[in-house]
């Protein structure tokens, strides 16, 4: 379990995290979402005790991470795939981390196998592609078989097969009862991975809820209609719908279901060339919410 309470981090005059509070529970994949510069990576560094908070608390299983003499059995993390020394082989890199945490060689070979790097394990990391480095970072996170896992933009640089594999892995880890927090600045990525979302913008919490609730929040369903009948818009308005122009020749109807629009057309003998339900995508919901945040933040004294 991850608990972040009134967390604040300032770097000089820049406030990267500004009173953030949220909880991440085990057994689910939680997406940590926000535009670039929202404070996601800073929050992860604070959770791992790499940076000291200016105020508030960041706890993993009830304690600040700095209090753990060894970390890998408590939390595994991939913060930045480049946080390795290019001169070491993948195996040597993992061996060093394992040895420091009292983890044996067999486990190193196991995680190398699990992330698909067994054949490249003897090669120096400096020659690895970003995707291979991401896999190595994920292997390092898995070393200690930890109950909490933190991944910062883990699918960057992975090929499509790798992305599918990573999603499956995160879901499997969560299904085993672990707490899995995966950050991304892409909503579309979360749509396929996360059960819960923590959305941040400018260092503040925007939303912490299930994917479904988040979708519903900005997810008005609208109906797109095409018809040669110029008077149909007025009929729709008379039924209580809000009608606006969509693409050329298209009406976008809010407040009526597609079935209701179809029935209305049938009743009045109106020809419909198109009748489509459009769910607002999560991406739109995300953009709308973060846009609100930007507007709010710009108007507020900082």
Partner 1 sequence: MTITTPPARFTDLLAAEWLKLWSLRSIRWALLATALVVVGMNVNAAWADHRNWPGYSEGLRAGFVPTWAIRDAFTDPAMLVLVLAAGTIGAITLVGEYSTGLIRTTFAAVPARRAVTAAKLLVLTPVMAAYGTVLSVVSFWLTQAVLSGRDAGLSFGYPGVWRALAASALLPPVCAVVGLGIGALVRHAATTVAATVAVLLLLPMLFSPDRPWTAFLHHALPVMAWGRLTDLTDYGPLYMGPPVDYPATVTGSWIALAAWPLSAALLALWIVDRCDV
- CA–CA gap between residue 269 and residue 262 (Å, rounded): 10
Burial level of 233, CB count in 10 A (0-12/13-18/19+)? middle
- CA–CA gap between residue 227 and residue 220 (Å, rounded): 22
Closest by alpha carbon to 39, among 206, 282, 211, 156? 206
User: Residue 153, interface with partner 1 (CB under 8 A)?
Assistant: no
Q: Please identify, among the stretches 31-39, 65-73, 191-199, 229-237, the one whose residues bind partner 1 according to the rule CB under 8 A.
A: 65-73
Residue choice 23, 89, 210, 221 for contact with partner 1 (CB under 8 A): 89
Return the number of other C-beta atoms located less than 10 Å from residue 197's C-beta. Answer: 25
Shortest Å distance, C-beta 135 to partner 1: 15
Residue choice 17, 48, 190, 208 for contact with partner 1 (CB under 8 A): 48
User: Residue 33, interface with partner 1 (CB under 8 A)?
Assistant: no
Distances (CA, A) of 28 to 65, 92, 149, 230: 21, 32, 11, 50
Q: Please identify, among the stretches 63-71, 160-168, 245-253, 255-263, the one whose residues bind partner 1 according to the rule CB under 8 A.
A: 63-71
Q: Please identify, among the stretches 139-147, 164-172, 240-248, 270-278, the one whose residues bind partner 1 according to the rule CB under 8 A.
A: 139-147
User: Residue 175, interface with partner 1 (CB under 8 A)?
Assistant: no
Residue 278's SS3 state is strand
Binding site for partner 1 (CB under 8 A): 26, 45, 48-52, 65-75, 77, 79-80, 82-89, 92, 95-97, 99-103, 140, 143, 146-147, 176-178
């Amino acid at each position: 379990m991850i608990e972040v309470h009134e967390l604040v981090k300032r770097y000089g005059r820049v406030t990267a995290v500004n009173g953030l509070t949220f909880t991440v529970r085990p057994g689910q994949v939680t997406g940590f979402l926000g535009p670039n510069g929202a404070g996601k990576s800073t929050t992860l560094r604070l959770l791992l005790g790499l940076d000291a908070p200016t105020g508030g608390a960041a706890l993993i299983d009830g304690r600040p991470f700095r209090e753990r003499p060894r970390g890998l059995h408590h939390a595994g993390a991939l913060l930045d795939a480049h946080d390795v020394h290019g001169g070491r082989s993948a195996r040597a890199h993992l061996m060093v981390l394992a040895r420091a945490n009292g983890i044996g060689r067999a486990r190193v070979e196991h995680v190398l196998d699990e992330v698909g790097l067994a054949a490249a394990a003897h090669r120096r990391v400096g020659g690895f592609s970003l995707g291979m480095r991401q896999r190595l970072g994920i292997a390092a996170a898995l070393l200690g078989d930890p109950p909490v896992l933190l991944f910062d933009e883990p699918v960057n640089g992975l090929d499509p097969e790798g992305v599918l594999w990573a999603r499956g892995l995160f879901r499997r880890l969560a299904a085993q009862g672990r707490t899995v927090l995966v950050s991304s600045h892409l909503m579309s990525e979360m749509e396929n991975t996360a059960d819960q979302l923590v959305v941040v913008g400018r260092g503040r919490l925007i939303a912490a809820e299930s994917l479904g609730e988040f979708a519903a929040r900005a997810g008005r369903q609208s109906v797109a209609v095409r018809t040669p009948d110029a008077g149909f818009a007025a009929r729709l308005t008379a039924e209580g719908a809000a009608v606006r122009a969509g693409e050329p020749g298209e009406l976008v109807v809010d407040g009526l279901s597609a079935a209701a629009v179809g029935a209305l057309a049938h009743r009045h003998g109106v020809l419909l060339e198109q009748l489509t339900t459009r769910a607002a995508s999560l991406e739109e919901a995300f953009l709308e919410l973060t846009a609100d945040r930007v507007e709010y933040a710009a108007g507020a004294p900082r």
